[in-house]
């Protein structure tokens, strides 16, 4: 009890739907020193599931508002907010924590914190082994896992399990669109650079999304395609994954349960991967995800580099497609 309240220091990465649930659970479990880091601000669409926020908070940083809410309601827990990117923090910041919990919706951010914690580990200093508990949700599906540097598989080991990134052929987008998503991709990939040239498209800018929505709607009418909406436009541009409050609650509970077991040694912690499905029933499956000997983060020191077969006649576009589609690389599109 004293360790939880006075010594154990926990970092929560992400203050969205999953992060809000995690923060609440940690505070209610008795953790006394919690930090939360998130670069996003609150949007109206967040309010249906991110229950630490209210309408008056729209536009404010998620991490700050979440910390204020918990500090006000549960005085035994001090939550310290950090409104910035995880990449903005020094190594010493991450080394100061006993446990780190991820409630992220980004593969790239997960890969970064996973690699960082493995690079910080010094086998001669046990204090540098920081448990990483990762939670993720997608609609009615979710997963939680415990990652210990060089003792368990790391996040990079499981890239092949990720759903392939949605990618539409340029020729279809340009000439024969059949879906509302094709029209939106046409507006964002082909028309935006043509009209605005050097102006970078911002998926969080309502004016940018409105312009794309208008263009996509007009194109959809031309090809008699229905279903283009403002929310779908933003979803395609930002690759937004549907979020269900109940799934967030279940996965957050699993993550915090593992954090409690690790902090208190009250029971064996997860070994090491739990998947949940709630589409038409409640189903969970736990298994030990094995390390990949050739993993670029935690694999053997003499591992071979990743090799890709590229034809001499391949274009730059084809090379980029190959990098994006490779399950070993999962390069951001």
Name the residues annotated as catalytic. Answer: 171
Tokens read off for 305: 């580099």
Q: Distance between CA atoms of 192 and 82, rounded to whole angstroms?
A: 33
Q: Which helix (H) or strand (E) holds 229?
A: none
Q: How far is CA 310 from CA 116, 159, 165, 188, 318, in A?
A: 30, 21, 21, 28, 9
Give the DSSP per-residue string, 116-181.
Answer: HHHHH-BTTBGGG---EEEEEEEBTEEEEEEE-TTTS--GGGGGGGSPPPP---HHHHHH---SHH
- CB-based contacts of 125, cutoff 8 Å, min separation 6: none
24 φψ region: left (φ > 0), alpha (ψ -120 to 50), beta (else): alpha
> Hunting for tokens 């669409």 — which residue is that?
45
Whether residue 39 contacts residue 81, with contact meaning beta carbons closer than 8 Å, is answered with no
CA 307 to chain centre: 27
Tokens read off for 189: 């990939």
- CB-based contacts of 207, cutoff 8 Å, min separation 6: none
Residue of 42, 37, 122, 129 whose CA lies nearest to 87: 37
Give the DSSP per-residue string, 54-78.
Answer: -GGGTTSBHHHHHHHHHHHH-TT-E
Q: In this structure, how many other beta carbons lie within 10 angstroms of the beta carbon of residue 36?
A: 28
Tokens read off for 235: 């979803």
């Amino acid at each position: 009890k004293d360790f939880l309240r006075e010594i154990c220091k926990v970092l929560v990465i992400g203050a969205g739907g999953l992060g809000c649930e995690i923060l609440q659970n940690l505070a209610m479990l008795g953790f006394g020193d919690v930090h939360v880091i998130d670069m996003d601000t609150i949007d109206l669409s967040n309010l249906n599931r991110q229950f630490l926020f209210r309408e008056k908070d729209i536009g404010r940083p998620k991490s700050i508002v979440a910390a204020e809410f918990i500090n006000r309601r549960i005085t035994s827990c001090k939550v310290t907010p950090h409104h910035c990117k995880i990449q903005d923090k020094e190594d010493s910041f991450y080394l100061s924590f006993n446990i780190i919990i991820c409630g992220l919706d980004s593969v790239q951010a997960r890969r970064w914190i996973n690699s960082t914690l493995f690079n910080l580990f010094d086998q001669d200093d046990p204090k540098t082994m920081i448990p990483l508990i990762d939670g993720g949700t997608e609609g009615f599906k979710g997963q939680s896992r415990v990652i210990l540097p060089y003792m368990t598989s790391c996040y990079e080991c499981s890239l092949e399990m990720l759903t392939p990134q949605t990618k539409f052929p340029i020729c279809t987008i340009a000439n024969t669109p059949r879906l509302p998503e094709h029209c939106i991709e046409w507006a964002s990939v082909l028309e935006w650079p043509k009209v605005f040239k050097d102006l970078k498209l911002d998926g969080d800018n309502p004016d940018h999304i409105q312009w794309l929505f208008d263009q996509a709607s007009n194109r959809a009418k031309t090809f008699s395609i229905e279903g283009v909406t403002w929310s779908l436009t933003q979803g395609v541009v930002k690759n937004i994954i549907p979020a269900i409050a109940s799934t967030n609650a279940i996965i957050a509970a699993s993550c915090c349960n593992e954090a409690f077991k690790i902090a208190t040694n009250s029971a064996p912690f997860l070994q090491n991967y739990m998947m949940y499905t709630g589409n038409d029933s409640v189903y969970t499956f736990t298994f030990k995800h094995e390390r990949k000997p050739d993993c670029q983060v935690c694999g053997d020191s003499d591992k071979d580099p990743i090799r890709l077969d590229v034809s001499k006649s391949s274009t730059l576009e084809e090379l980029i497609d190959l990098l994006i589609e490779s399950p070993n690389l999962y390069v951001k599109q």
